[in-house]
């Protein structure tokens, strides 16, 4: 009988890092961002590139491309691509693969030249968006997330000011992070007065697009003890996927994928929503975090809620928090951290329960 709890605490995050630079990098291809992040994260773990035998990546490049660029021939590959949360989901896939001996050192790699578009292939329309969405002017994420937001405002009476507050809080947190692209403080009024893009969003409600890479290295708990830094145990994991096209979402104001993902991760870890000292939510829009919190069954008004960019980065940040490496933004006494991210338009979700104790 398979038991989900058998996977709890069997593998650890042992290395994390970003690309050498993040921000606006017209001098670097997307593939280089991957290679930089992986080499940095492997060094953080005290391992060698030649130790890698499992490669996990989402997006435009396949895991085979990453292996080739690194000069590594993997014996396990995973290219699950379900949006920004794919990297969070892949931590779970890596834990399962490590547990069963399908690989010994797993690296999850992210690289995206989102701002400069260097070494990026053009996006392809699939049958659904090209046929039933583009003719009406729909396209990039803001044109979808606004629908979720106006429905939420209609149903719950949420206001533009409340959405703006999420952007303000996110920026306050970013101000503490020397690697954040935008660190100057903003006010609710600034958000509301900014250039309107697509109502209910102004340009300050919408995710920043940057060039960045990030990577996470995992190995089994027995081997993790020999790595350079204190291991971070993967205690619980979950994933879910509800829809891709927004017309197929059951309730625009509730993420079923997040509920499914969160419930599984909490059950596996044997924890409840109130047990965390630190929470990382991956979002791209100001309406994302509140809907994720509601779908996870977490009360609103958490003191340590903040936003990351792209699914690999909340894993990196949570790991650093659990190691106590975060200087002025360090949350005191973190033992248990929750990482939750979404992909697409709340379409898919991934959840991790991470701990610095077994």
Partner 1 sequence: MEIDRPLPNPMTPEAKPFWDGLREQKLMLPKCQACGHVFWYPRVACPKCHTRGIGWIQASGRGTLHAFEVGYQAFNKAFKVEPPYVLAMIELAEGPRMLSNLINVEADPRTLKCDMPVEVVFSKLTDEVTLPLFQPAGR
> Which residue lies nearer to partner 1 by CB, 144 or 354?
144
The count of other CB atoms within 10 Å of the CB of residue 70 is: 20
Q: Rounded to an integer, what distance in angstroms lies between the CA atom of residue 17 and that of residue 330? A: 17
344 binds partner 1 (CB under 8 A): no
The burial class, CB within 10 Å (0-12 / 13-18 / 19+), for 120 is middle
Range 141-160, binding partner 1 (CB under 8 A): 142-143, 146-148, 150-151, 154-155
Please report, in angstroms and rounded to a whole number, the separation of the first and last CA atoms in the chain: 24
247 binds partner 1 (CB under 8 A): yes
> Which residue lies nearer to partner 1 by CB, 130 or 185?
130
Q: Rounded to an integer, what distance in angstroms lies between the CA atom of residue 343 and that of residue 86? A: 7
CB distance 340 to 316 below 8 Å: no
> Which residue lies nearer to partner 1 by CB, 110 or 152?
152
165 binds partner 1 (CB under 8 A): no
**Per the omega criterion (within 30 degrees of 0), is the bond before 200 cis?**
yes
Q: List the one residue from 26, 178, 185, 196 that touches partner 1 (CB under 8 A).
A: 196
> Which residue lies nearer to partner 1 by CB, 27 or 155?
155
> Which residue lies nearer to partner 1 by CB, 141 or 302?
141
Q: List the one residue from 133, 177, 188, 192 that touches partner 1 (CB under 8 A).
A: 133
117 binds partner 1 (CB under 8 A): no
> Which residue lies nearer to partner 1 by CB, 27 or 199?
199
Q: Rounded to an integer, what distance in angstroms lies between the CA atom of residue 257 and that of residue 291? A: 11
The DSSP string of 70-128 is: HT---SEEE---SSTTHHHHHHHHHHHHHHTTS-SEEEEEEEEETTT-TT-PPPPP-HH
Q: List the one residue from 73, 134, 189, 228 that touches partner 1 (CB under 8 A).
A: 134
Site residues, partner 1 (CB under 8 A): 125, 127-128, 130-140, 142-143, 146-148, 150-151, 154-155, 196-200, 245-247, 252
């Amino acid at each position: 009988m398979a038991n989900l709890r058998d996977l709890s605490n069997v593998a650890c995050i042992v290395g994390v890092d970003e690309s050498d630079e993040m921000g606006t990098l017209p001098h670097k291809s997307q593939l280089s961002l991957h290679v930089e992040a992986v080499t940095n994260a492997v060094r953080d773990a005290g391992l060698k590139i030649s130790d890698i035998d499992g490669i996990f990546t989402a997006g435009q490049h396949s895991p085979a491309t990453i292996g080739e660029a690194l000069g590594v021939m993997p014996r396990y590959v995973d290219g699950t691509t379900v949006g920004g949360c794919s990297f969070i989901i892949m931590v779970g896939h890596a834990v399962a693969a490590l547990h069963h001996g399908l690989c010994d050192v797993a690296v999850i790699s992210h690289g995206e030249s989102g701002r400069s578009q260097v070494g990026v292939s053009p996006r392809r329309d699939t049958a659904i968006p090209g046929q039933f969405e583009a003719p009406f002017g729909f396209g990039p994420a803001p044109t979808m997330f606004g629908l979720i937001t106006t429905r939420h405002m209609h149903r719950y009476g949420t206001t533009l000011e409340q959405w703006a507050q999420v952007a303000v809080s996110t920026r306050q947190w970013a101000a503490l992070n020397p690697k954040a692209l935008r660190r100057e403080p903003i006010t609710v009024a600034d958000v509301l007065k900014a250039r309107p893009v697509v109502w209910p969003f102004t340009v300050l409600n919408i995710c920043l697009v940057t060039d960045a890479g990030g990577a996470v290295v995992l190995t089994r708990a027995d081997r993790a003890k020999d790595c350079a830094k204190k291991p971070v145990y993967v205690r619980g994991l979950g994933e879910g996927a509800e829809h891709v096209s927004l017309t197929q979402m059951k309730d625009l104001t509730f993420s079923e994928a997040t509920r499914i993902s969160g419930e599984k991760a909490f059950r596996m870890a044997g924890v409840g929503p109130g047990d965390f000292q630190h929470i990382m939510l991956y979002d791209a829009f100001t309406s994302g975090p509140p809907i994720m919190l509601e779908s996870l069954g977490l009360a609103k008004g958490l003191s340590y809620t903040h936003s990351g960019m792209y699914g690999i980065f909340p894993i990196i940040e949570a790991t650093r928090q659990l190691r106590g490496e975060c200087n002025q933004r360090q949350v005191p006494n973190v033992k248990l951290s929750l990482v939750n991210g979404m992909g697409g338009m709340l379409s898919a979700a991934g959840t991790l329960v991470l701990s610095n104790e077994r």
